[in-house]
Structure 1
Amino acid sequence: MSDDLELAALLGEAPKTPDPGFRFDVLALTAERARRRDARQRAFRTTVLFALVGLIFPLAHAFRLGLAQLQPLLLVAGVLCLAYVLALWTLEGPRAVLARSRAVLRGRL
Structure 2
Amino acid sequence: MSKNIIFDKYGYYAYIGVFKEKDYECSSLILDTNTAINVENFYYKPNKMDERKRKATLDFLSDNISIDFVPGLAMEEACWDFSLKGINQQQLKKMENAFNNIYIE
TM, length-normalised to structure 2: 0.27
TM, length-normalised to structure 1: 0.26
In terms of fraction of residues, the more helix-rich structure is 1
Structure with the larger RCO, 1 or 2 (CA within 8 Å, 6+ apart) = 2
In terms of fraction of residues, the more strand-rich structure is 2
Which entry has the higher C-alpha Rg, 1 or 2?
Answer: 1
